[in-house]
Structures are given as structure tokens and as C-alpha cells.
Amino acid sequence: MAQEPQRIALIAGEISGDILGAAIVAALRRKRPDLHCYGVAGPRMIAAGCEAIESIEALSVMGLAEVVRELPRLLRLRRTLVRRFAEERPDVVVGIDAPDFNLGLETQMRRCGIRTVHVVSPTVWAWRQGRVKGIARAVDRMLCLFPFEPAFYADYGVAADYIGHPLAEELVADPDPSPYRRALGLADTGPVVTVMPGSRGGEVRYLAEPFAQTAAWLATRIPGIRFITPVAKPALRAPIEAAIRNSAPGLDWTVVDGESRTAMQAADAVLLASGTATLECLLLGRPMVVAYKASALTAWLMLKLGLLKTRYVSLPNLLCAQPPVTELLQDAATPETMGSELLALLQQPQRRAQQLQQFGAVHAELRRGAAERAADAILAVSSTAVPQRRTR
């Protein structure tokens, strides 16, 4: 009989990985209170009971061009983790998102005879489809958050399960913004737009100024409009506030640390960078406009060279039956265009309803008990691990 699992190593990247990882760690520990979960973790995972041997910040790098500068450090970190896990031999190594980092680590773990699970499919169906061959070598099982993904993997012989999305269990679409405005110290009445230029430094560098200019454009057309920006990390507050001072002076603008979900729920509409926050916005039932800017090299590789294989980049449009969200990329993300789209959401009830009706259908589909399903799959894979654990 296979040895009962005692240790599970998890490696998460980005804030979104911390959110997903925390739900999975909590589910694992409900099923097996004796488990020792440890690895690359953020504050939510730590609070759920995961020991951090490295901060999640170590993997928070955006874009193709930007990664090049950090590559030597990332490779050193991966070598360090590979050596440690090869010596300690956890029952299973679980990579959570961060595919460019985790899939290479998982491949080396399998060569050592250690089982691997990867949570959150890379967007192989969208770009760099050749990666699926490497995924087949890297993982014993892929856990997919979206319903269209397992069929793609089946064509390549990769074991993949659709587990739904943990956020669909956690988040509730409350149509009344009043309690969330009061929680942020805002008056109940009057239009509010939440502005979210991203959770990474590179995103803020490219989006904070045009987003602030968009707010200024809106303010000339809607007297008394107010704005909220939740700051994902303390280091991002200064550049965000500088952009507001430079491009939108005098506006009624509240900047808060964290509180991204409360800020979205307080809004009538949301302007935000493409990323996991768009899924949170969908699940919270708030209409949105999505924009994204990156370095010229990253944009050229993705848009001009044809690496991007899907028509849409935001999760709401990929999940909805009839994509309802305006996406504005690179040069299309002008203050006038973003402002016009937000103005329509604020002043045209039909435009809002088109988004919200589809958002509700997606929310219902994604509510599958994802964390519990992920924990069951991880424990099942770990139970097949045969190498004898060595003590340090």
C-alpha cells in the first residue's frame, strides 16, 4: 500500500495564485489535518496553514520582455527549490499557475520520481500551443479552472480535470453598492467608477496615467462622479497617486490599500487591466471595461507576430457565450475610447444588462466546489507516489 501523504509542496505565483492556493490549502487541511503544506506562498496561503519557504513576490514578474531581466534570479530560485524538494521528497509537488517557472520545476521533479500536479492551465489554447508537449512531460495531472480546457488536453493525452473556480464559491454578486461604499467611507449616492491599473509594477507603469486621464475625461461629462482605486501592494501606491496628481488633479478620488473586492462592489462600473481581476469583477456582478498595455516588444510578439491565438484576452469574454466586454489593447486604450465605453455603461441600462446577464450564467457554471475537487485530486495523485522519503 502506498504511504499516506504527509507533506505537500506548493509553489504559487502572483496574487491570484495566493488566492487559489489558500483555498486549496484550506481544503487539504480539512481533509487531512496532519498534512504539512509548505513552499512558495503568499499571505493568504500562510493564513490557511502553508509554511512559506519563499515569498510569492519572488515570482511576480510580468511580460515577455520584462522576464528577461529577472531570468538569472528566477533560475537560481528554481534550482534551489529543485534541490530542496529532491532531498526532502514531498509526496506531491503542486504548481499553482506561474507556468513558465513551475512547469520546468515539475519536469525535474518527475525525473526524480516525485509526483506533480499543476493547478491553472497555462493558456496553451490561446498562444504557444507547442507548450502542451512539455506539459505532458511535467505533470501527472492538470487541474483546469475553465470548462473548455480538458478537451484541449485530451487531444494530447494529458490527464486533465475541470474543477471549476474557487472564486465562484467565495464571491457573491450583490447588486447593491451601498454597504460597500459605506465600508470605504463613501456616501451612498452618486456615480462611482473603480479604477484598477493592475497588481504589478509594469502594469501600473503603462496604465496608471491613461487610466487617470480617462477619469478626468469622464469628470467633465458627469458632474460629481467619484473614483476609487484599490492598491494591490504598498509599493504601487506612490506611482498611482503620482498619476492621479498629474493627470486628474482635483477629482474626488479615494485610494485604499487592498480592498479590491470591496472597491469593485462599491462601483457602478469598473475600468481595469486584463487579468484575474476581470474574473473577480464578473463574479461580483459589476460591468467593466478592460484595457491593457505592455512594452512595445511584448505587444509586438503577442499581437503582430501572431503568438496570441484567441480573439479575446479577458476571461469574461472567453467564458461568456456572447462576449460582452469591451477590450482595448495598446494604442486603442486611449482616454477618449475608455471614457466613452465607461460612459455607456453608466448611462445605458441595456449595456449594463447585456454584461450582467451573461456574468450570472458564467458564475453558475464555475461554481463546482473547486477547492474540494482540487484537494481530492492532489491527494489521489500523492497516494501513488512510490519513492521513499529521505530525511534531511
Could you report the per-residue pLDDT of 325-382, keeping only the tens digit for each?
Answer: 999 988 888 999 999 999 999 999 999 999 999 999 999 999 999 999 999 999 999 9
- Is the pLDDT at 392 greater than 80? The verdict is no
Give the C-alpha separation, 280 to 291, whole Å: 16
Q: Higher pLDDT residue, 72 or 67?
A: 72
Buried b (16+ CB within 10 A) or exposed e, 41-59: bbebbbebbbeeebebebb
Tell whether 232 and 275 lie within a shared domain.
yes
In this structure, is residue 387 part of a structural domain? Answer: no
Please report where in the chains the cell 494604442 appears, as a residue: 331
Tell whether 123 and 179 lie within a shared domain.
no
CATH of the domain at 20: 3.40.50.2000
In this structure, is residue 328 part of a structural domain? Answer: yes
pLDDT at 125 (0 to 100): 65
Tell whether 61 and 130 lie within a shared domain.
yes
How is residue 195 written as a grid cell? 479604477
Tell whether 120 and 224 lie within a shared domain.
no
Tell whether 338 and 196 lie within a shared domain.
yes
CA distances, 389 to each of 3, 207, 285, 384 (Å): 10, 48, 47, 13
In this structure, is residue 138 part of a structural domain? Answer: yes
pLDDT bucket at 308, cuts 50 / 70 / 90: low
Give the C-alpha separation, 379 to 375, whole Å: 6
Question: What is the gyration radius of the CA atoms in the chain, in angstroms?
Answer: 21
Tell whether 303 and 176 lie within a shared domain.
yes
Q: Reduced to 3 states, what is the DSSP secondary structure of residue 274?
A: coil
pLDDT at 83 (0 to 100): 96
Tell whether 95 and 179 lie within a shared domain.
no
- Is the pLDDT at 305 greater than 60? The verdict is no
The domain in which residue 361 lies consists of: 170-366
Estimate to the nearest angstrom the gap between the alpha carbon of 295 and the chain centroid. Answer: 20
Q: Encode pLDDT of 274-284 as tens digits.
A: 888 999 999 99
In this structure, is residue 1 part of a structural domain? Answer: no
Give the C-alpha separation, 116 to 379, whole Å: 11
Q: What is the pTM for the complete model shown?
A: 0.75
Tell whether 218 and 309 lie within a shared domain.
yes
Tell whether 321 and 247 lie within a shared domain.
yes
In this structure, is residue 354 part of a structural domain? Answer: yes
The amino acid present at 157, given as its one-letter code, is G
In this structure, is residue 318 part of a structural domain? Answer: yes
CA neighbor of 149 nearest in space, from 163, 139, 169, 137: 163
pLDDT at 58 (0 to 100): 73
Tell whether 288 and 217 lie within a shared domain.
yes
Give the C-alpha separation, 253 to 345, whole Å: 20
Strands laid side by side in the 226-231 sheet: 252-257, 226-231, 192-196, 269-273, 288-292, 326-329
Tell me how many domains the chain contains.
2
Cα separation of the two ends of the chain? 24
The amino acid present at 164, given as its one-letter code, is G
In this structure, is residue 133 part of a structural domain? Answer: yes
The β-bridge partners of 192 are 226
In this predicted structure, which of 102-106, 347-351, 382-386 has the lowest mean pLDDT?
A: 382-386
Tell whether 145 and 176 lie within a shared domain.
no
In this structure, is residue 358 part of a structural domain? Answer: yes
- Is the pLDDT at 153 greater than 80? The verdict is yes
Tell whether 374 and 326 lie within a shared domain.
no
